[in-house]
Structure formats: C-alpha cells, structure tokens
C-alpha cells in the first residue's frame, strides 16, 4: 500500500513521527508535511505566494518533504508534483488534540484529508484527544487497520474518515464506534491586553461548551474512552433547508419589490 502522510502540527512533531514509524512496517510511506505548525488554518491554500519544498532529515535519515505552506497545500503538491503516481490513501496526523464537533471546521489535519478526498484519493484524519498526547502507537495501528478496511470496502468519492483516539493506554480503550459530528462548540473569549507601548491587543481563548450526550456522537464517544470514526464529506448543501426554502419562491423576489 502506498501512503501519503501529512499533518498540521508540522513535520517535526511527535505525532507524525510515531505514525510514520508504525505505517512503514507494512506500507510504502511518503511524508509531505508543513515546515511549521499550521493548527486551526482550516482549509487554507496558498495562492498569493509560491511554495518551497525542502528535504527534511530526522536522526540523520531522510524523513520527508517539508512545505512552507498549509496542510491542504502539502496534499495538493504531494499528489501533483512529488509523487509520481496517486497514493492508495492519504493519512493526516496524528494530531495532538481532538478534532471533534465544531473543531472539524477549523482543523488543518482534517482539511489535509479533505483535500485528498477532493482529489478522489481515499483519506483518513487521525487525532489523539490531548494536546500533550502520549499514546500515538495505538492510534497509528487504528489508522492502518482503517486504511486496510477502506482498501477492501471503498468509501464513496468525496467521503473521508475523521478518527479520534482517546489518549489512553490501549487496555483502557472502551472500543471503537461509528459516530456523527457533534454540536459542541466554543464559547470564545478575546483576552484584551496591552503591549509595552500601551496599545491593545486581543488573544483568542475560550471554553468548549459540550452539548453532545449520545454515544454515537464524536465528542461523547471520546469522552467515554471510545475511538470515534466519523464519515464526513464536503457537500455543504443543507438539503432539508433547500426543500423548505422552495416555499420562499425566491425566483419571484426580483419581480416584486425590486425588479425595475
């Protein structure tokens, strides 16, 4: 199996190193990852400036290609220019910290996997649920197992798996659950501070408001020590509202109050 690995914490993070170490036991792995941390960049891509690609070494050995861009950039240039053929799968991670509920929207880790799905390449985003995460090996094995599942039972084009693994020793993992994206979101706070010159600046912080109470929801599953596996896609159409809005008759909007 040919695997392209990316992440958003940067090519020098522990999570990607541990993932690659495990995947290499049974697959051909190419790493294309951001040179610097790219958390919360969402699905940002670099168009206004060019990209550089640097050979990155770890412990004296070639580890992969570092790109001075975003996670989505890495997947795009990885598939288009660095690899000679499309990989069998893209695995993004292992992220230090969970990507559940609203965080899926902000996540660079998920956007790298989503970019692969846009390019019709199967993809998995993997996160361990703790910013000071320690248990990467189990999460890496889960990623490999799911990659094998997908190889046998292909996902529809445009669908990817978002996987969150509790940061626990394997024997404390309660199991693995198929889940949906939760509705928990951040109560944002901007801390107002003053710089040494008396000018204001604002730093984003906040608390996650947990509203997810069912075990088949990503955020609740990880809280109960389950591995959470959510199929997500990039069709953002709200079909329910689409059907309801037919009653608006918006095609008549221009004729009425406005059209001259």
Residues 114-173 interacting with its own copies (rule: CB under 8 A): 114, 118, 141-142, 145-146, 149, 153, 155-156, 159, 170, 173
Structure tokens at 22: 């495990």
Which one of 12-20, 91-99, 122-130, 179-187 is the stretch in contact with its own copies (CB under 8 A)? Answer: 179-187
Assess 215 for contact with its own copies (CB under 8 A). no
Residues 28-67 interacting with its own copies (rule: CB under 8 A): 37, 39-48, 50-53
- Smallest distance, Å, CB 137 to its own copies? 12
- Smallest distance, Å, CB 179 to its own copies? 8
Between the alpha carbon of residue 2 and those of residues 5, 107, 153, 238, the distances in Å are 10, 24, 17, 35
Write the DSSP string, 176-222: EEE-B----EEEEEEEEEE-TTS-EEEEEEEEEE----STTBHHHHH
Structure tokens at 63: 């580890």
Residues 194-213 interacting with its own copies (rule: CB under 8 A): 199-204
Residues 91-110 interacting with its own copies (rule: CB under 8 A): 102, 104-106
Say if residues 173 and 227 touch (Cβ distance below 8 Å). Answer: yes
- Name the residue nearer to its own copies (CB basis): 59 or 196: 196
Number of residues that bind its own copies (CB under 8 A): 82
Strand pairing of 123-128 and 28-34? Answer: unpaired
């Amino acid at each position: 199996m040919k695997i392209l690995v990316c992440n958003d914490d940067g090519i020098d993070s522990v999570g990607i190193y541990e993932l690659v170490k495990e995947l290499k036991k049974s697959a051909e792995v190419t790493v294309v990852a951001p040179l610097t941390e790219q958390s919360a960049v969402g699905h940002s891509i670099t168009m206004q400036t060019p990209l550089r690609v640097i050979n990155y070494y770890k412990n004296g050995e070639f580890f992969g290609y570092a790109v001075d861009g975003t996670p989505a950039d890495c997947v795009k240039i990885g598939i288009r220019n660095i690899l000679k053929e499309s990989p069998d799968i893209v695995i993004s991670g292992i992220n230090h910290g969970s990507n559940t509920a609203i965080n899926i929207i902000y996540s660079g880790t998920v956007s790298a996997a989503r970019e692969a799905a846009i390019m019709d390449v199967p993809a998995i985003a993997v996160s361990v649920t703790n910013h000071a995460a320690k248990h990467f090996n189990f999460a890496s094995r889960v990623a490999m197992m799911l990659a094998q599942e997908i190889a046998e039972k292909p996902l529809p084009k445009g669908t990817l798996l978002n996987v969150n693994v509790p940061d626990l020793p394997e024997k404390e993992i309660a199991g693995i659950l198929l889940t949906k994206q939760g509705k928990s979101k951040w109560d944002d706070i901007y801390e107002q501070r003053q710089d040494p010159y008396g000018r204001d600046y604002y730093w984003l912080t906040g608390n996650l408001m947990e509203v997810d109470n069912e075990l088949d929801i990503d955020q609740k599953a990880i809280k109960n020590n389950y591995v959470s596996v959510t199929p997500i896609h990039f069709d953002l159409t709200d079909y329910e509202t689409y059907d309801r809005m037919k009653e608006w008759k918006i095609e008549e909007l221009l004729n009425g109050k406005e059209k001259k």
